[in-house]
Amino acid sequence: MNPKENYLHEFFRIFFANKQLVKRVFLVFAVIALVLPLMLKQSFDITAQVIVQSKKLSQGDATASLNQESASFIPPSLADMETESNILRSPALIRQTISQLREKGEYSPPVSTFNKLVAQPFKDYVTTPIREHVINPMRDALGLETDPVRDTQLDALAQKASDDLKIETLPGSNVISIIYSFPDPAQGTKFVAALLQNYLASRQELQSIDLPQSFYETKKLQYQVRLDGLEGNRLALLEGVGSADPREEITFRLNAINTEEQALNLYQDRLLQSKRWLDYLKTNLAAAKDAKLLSDFTFPYTFTTTIENVAFEDREVKQLGELLTSQISRYMTDLSVFQPSSEPMLLLREQITRNRGQFLKVVSNRIQERTADLAVVSSVIDQKTARIDQFKNRIHQLQETQSKLRQMDTEIEALHSAFSTYAQRFAESSTARSLDNDLSNARILSPPFEPTEAAFPKPMLIIPFGLLTGLLLAIAFVYVREFFDHRFKHPAQITHELGLPVLLVINDQNVDPINPHKNWTVPRFAHWVRN
């Protein structure tokens, strides 16, 4: 072939030289493209979409209250969306959905003629009886666990549904797309709708912290027993110390101690003062008794008692002191007139001696009274000191009891809170399931609907592409045939291959027969195909 040859001319030369072969190959593929949409089984695409609004993170446990505040929500990540997709495509969820629909008689996919007449009956007839009557008895005889007889049809339907189910997350969004290919649009729509409902219920159970009612009842009984025991221990502790409220009694005892200590301080001051005065009186009384002269008639103490800034004098001592003073004054006056040995002076001296003895006797009695009063004050001080010690011991006992009660009250409050929470959750759990997944953070964005057109096959797509494919394959087949055909097709090949000049070219005189039939008729098309 001459490299300077026109390639377009060469293409048309090969095409028209083999037009009959091109025509026949094209017609074969054209027939296949026209028949193929009729032969293929129809399949409908049922679509739906689910939106995952957020990811739920529980902040509590089974003891938390069932409300919106017990969980927080954050935007889902790619891993979360993949997890949601895996939940949707899980085999257990698909099997559950198919089993529910089969029980209602709403799922019966068409099977091929071979599977319906040969494969499935043979499998059911051979596999199940062999397992039931041969394998299981042998395993039972050997003491092995027998294999359960499975529903093979359900397994096959679940596997087929899993293969026909396309679940993927739309790029850059929190929306999951579900596409299910099924021959029956009505049954396929029911399947997708039931699958979505089971998905919402399943993920709600996975994310929920609800527990069975029997658990709540058991926990309720346990907390009641525990609370009764703690309350009984608390009452026994209070009865043991003989107090209804240790805190109030401690306050009362502290006030009593303060009062007693103030009174004790006063009595101690009074005791100290009385001791000093008593020592002073005893010393002066002894000095007065030893005095011999009549001029020592005075006593350096007035026996005055001060109560609330009011002075009370001893009238008896005062009268005796004044009488004695007047007698001594008169004696001293008469002494300048009478002789000391005279009868009046002796009589007056005797009176002074008698009155002075009586005065000292009265003073001695007052000292005895003050001594007795000092003993009384000492006993009162001892009594108040013992009472204060008793109060302090009582306060110490009450403080120990209060510490134990505080620990017990903390545990009781915790149990009360937990018991209240369990009681609330027990009451709410019976109504939580009737909220229709209100607490779920996933929603059905686009529910499935029954399609009106089959997604496969599409004749308007298969026929044009089939015709174009047939034409391209026919041309390729012709070029392959031409490549392996080494015969001379035109004069230039002789010169190129043999190097000889071409002297004469004789054209073929056979003319293609004219189609005698009318246009756009079947005989004319058949004649065109043959020639």
Please name the residue that has the structure tokens 């001893």. 314
pLDDT category at 393 given cuts 50, 70, 90 is very high
Considering only residues 168 and 147, tell me which one the structure prediction assigns the higher pLDDT.
Answer: 168
Give the model's pLDDT for residue 452: 75
**Other Cβ atoms closer than 10 A to 317:** 19
- Which pTM was predicted? 0.46
What's the pLDDT tens digit per position in 176-215? 999 998 888 888 899 999 998 888 888 777 766 555 667 7
Q: What is the pLDDT of residue 277?
A: 82
d(CA 224, CA 38) in angstroms, rounded, equals: 74
- What is the arithmetic mean of pLDDT over 99-103? 88
Would you state the pLDDT for residue 308? 61
Above 70 in pLDDT, residue 434?
Answer: no
Q: Is the pLDDT of residue 512 over 90?
A: no
Q: Provide the 3-class DSSP secondary structure of residue 74.
A: strand
Which whole number is the average pLDDT over 233-248?
Answer: 86
Residue 232 CB: number of other CB atoms within 10 A? 10
Task: Give the DSSP H/E element, type plus range, for residue 415.
Answer: helix 343-432
DSSP secondary structure string, 151-218?
-HHHHHHHHHHHHHEEEEEPTTSSEEEEEEEES-HHHHHHHHHHHHHHHHHHHHHHH-----HHHHHH
Answer with the residue of higher pLDDT: 365 or 9.
Answer: 365
Confidence of residue 64 (pLDDT cuts 50, 70, 90): very low
Mean pLDDT for the stretch of residues 482-488: 76
Please report the sign of the dihedral spanned by the C-alpha atoms of residue 316, residue 317, residue 320, residue 322. negative
Does residue 297 have a pLDDT over 70? Answer: no
Q: What is the Cα 417 distance to its own chain's centre?
A: 16
What whole-number percentage of the chain has pLDDT above 90? 8
Check whether 128 has a pLDDT greater than 60. no
Lowest average pLDDT, out of 233-242, 415-424, 425-434, 503-512, goes to 425-434
Distance CA(96)–CA(158), nearest Å, equals 9
Coil, strand or helix at 449: coil
Confidence of residue 436 (pLDDT cuts 50, 70, 90): very low
pLDDT for the residue numbered 262: 92
How sure is the predictor about 390, in pLDDT bands with cuts at 50, 70 and 90? Answer: very high
Residues in the chain: 531
Q: Parallel, antiparallel, or unpaired: how do β-strands 175-182 and 165-169 relate? A: antiparallel
Whether the per-residue pLDDT at 119 is higher than 70: the answer is: no
Say which residue, 135 or 343, is predicted with more confidence. Answer: 343
Q: Residue 56 pLDDT more than 90?
A: no
Is the pLDDT higher at 184 or at 12?
A: 184
List pLDDT tens digits, range 450-465: 887 776 677 788 778 8
Mean per-residue pLDDT for 493-512? 73
Confidence class of residue 385 from pLDDT cuts 50, 70 and 90? very high
268, 271, 275, 281 alpha-carbon torsion, rounded to 10°: 140
Q: In the predicted model, is pLDDT for residue 435 greater than 90?
A: no
pLDDT at residue number 74: 75
Per-residue pLDDT band at 467 (split at 50, 70, 90): confident
Question: What is the per-residue pLDDT for 485?
Answer: 75
177 Cβ contact partners less than 8 Å away, ≥ 6 residues apart: 47, 48, 49, 166, 167, 168, 169, 170
